Structure 1
Amino acid sequence: MILESYYWKKELLKTSEKLKKKIKVKKYWTPKKYAKFEKEIMFGFYIIRKLIEANKLTNKIVSTKKEYKVHNNLGTKITIRNRHSFDEYYDFGNYSIRKSDLKFLNNQFIHSYIFSPIISTVDDYSLKLMENEKLTDEEHCEIHENSEKEVIGIFFNSDKNKDKSIFQIDIKTIIEIFQDVGNCNVTSISMKYNEKKDDWDCVLKDDENKIPNESLELINKLEEE
């Protein structure tokens, strides 16, 4: 249960701003920096999961589907002994496009078996140099290390689908999700008793984001604390 969702949503908005600042990669990520990024993503999706379970988000937000890429497994069983070299076991040369709602994405990140940020070279000069097929692996790595880089997305999957596929989502999509949820304001709720589950079904709306004066006063009060 979440008593006051304001603080949880505010944390998501803060995280989205932190992620924006991390897109530009100035130097090689240390294990500490990698862990911090990992925590921000996973904790962000955990917040969303708790907000959904506590009926603190509108049905529209929860059902909104986000796009990502799917790379199929090439036939190798993924285990804790080989997942560190996952780039060898999925077809990254091909992909299909899929859309899923927040509940699915939450489960994939919270129960992630593989989680790896995608840091890519973005400056044209370095990209041109890397087109040279005669480059050794060491030369290729050196160019990459000295180039302008950005976090463009994340590779991820869960223990349930690791042997089928791996997903690739844009970092801007994750930022958008955190912002949408962080700015979600439930202004009306209707309930109907569900005999099968012996509980109430809730339909939550935002009435086109028209926030009642009482809610605005509460938000302003919380901001002052």
Structure 2
Amino acid sequence: MVIHESHYWKAPLVRAAGWLNLLRVNDKNSEAALARAEREIFIGFYAIRKLLSAFKLSESTKQLKYEIEWFPGKPGRAVDYFNRSEIDELFDLNQKSVETRDIGFLCNQVVHSFIFIITLGEKGELEGFFLTSDTMRYRRLYFVSIGSVLHAFRTVGKDYPSKQSLKRNEETGQWEASDGEP
């Protein structure tokens, strides 16, 4: 599918960021609220991934980077469908590291997640989520803060480049975009 008019993909990102920021999960709304939060996050990162590949974002947005915490897998622990919610048994949550990753990596981790667990603060507010993709599930568990999600959704949702040049890469044969003149 090709995105012709990006507004229909970007405006929902801004609305989702507002809703996620205001969300407070409580005993009355927990199941529905968490399901919607997960859906908003997944659809949002899928939309960003589509916009990245459709030449609908400026170079500065394509280059967004986020600090993401990660925790190593415990040796000899097999992460599978039936135990994937037991992250404290599968990963060493006391051995936190931080790395900087671009927005494309973040999109792919969400879209291809094998583990996805939302975390809440004391007042029911979203703090972020733990995730790992199918290919990373034995090595690393990532934690993405809600602040990174809100920044990504708002930045992409408000990014309407006014000028862009396309040039075919002679080595790969693929089109590459840049802001301004070729």
- Alpha-carbon RMSD: 1.6
Specify the alignment match of 1:172 in structure 2: 147
- Residue by residue over 1:62-96, the C-alpha shift from the partner in whole angstroms, topping out at 9 and shown as x without a partner, is 11111110111112120112112222211112201
Q: What SS does the aligned partner of 2:98 have? A: strand
Give 5+ residue unaligned stretches, structure 1. 122-147, 206-225
1:35-65 deviation line (CA, Å, top 9, x unaligned): 2111100000010011011100011111111
Gaps spanning 5+ residues in structure 2: where?
A: none
| Cα pair distance change 1:183/1:167, threshold 3 Å | same
1:108 is aligned to 2:83: no
Shift of the 72–29 alpha-carbon distance from structure 1 to 2, 3 Å rule, reads farther
Aligned counterpart, 1:5: 6
What residue identity is the alignment partner of 1:193?
R
Q: Secondary structure at the match of 2:86?
A: helix
TM score, norm. by length of structure 1:
0.74
Query: TM-score, normalized by length of structure 2?
Result: 0.91
SS of the counterpart of 1:99? strand
- The residue correspondences of 1:113-128 to structure 2 (distance < 5 A) are 113-121=114-122
**2:93 paired with 1:96:** no
Among candidates 178, 182, 207, match of residue 157 of structure 2: 182
- CA 83–194 in structure 1, closer or farther in 2 if over 3 Å, else same: same
Superposed, which structure 2 residues align to 1:1-225 within 5 Å? 1-22=2-23, 24-27=24-27, 30-75=30-75, 76-121=77-122, 148-204=123-179
Instruction: Quickly say closer, same or farther: Cα 1:66–1:160, change in 2 above 3 A.
Output: same
Number of residue pairs matched by the alignment? 178
Percentage identity across paired residues of the two chains: 30
Relative to structure 1, the CA distance from residue 149 to residue 30 in structure 2 (aligned partners, 3 Å threshold; closer, same or farther) is: closer
Which portions of structure 1, spanning 4 or more consecutive aligned residues, are displaced by more than 6 angstroms? none
Q: Matches of 2:142 and 2:29 in 1, distance apart?
A: 22
1-side partners of 2:157 and 2:110: how far apart? 18
Separation in structure 2 between the aligned mates of residue 69 and residue 50 of structure 1, nearest angstrom: 25
Q: Which has the larger radius of gyration?
A: 1
Measured in 2, the distance between the counterparts of 1:46 and 1:116 equals 18
CA distance in 1, matches of 2:28, 2:112: 27
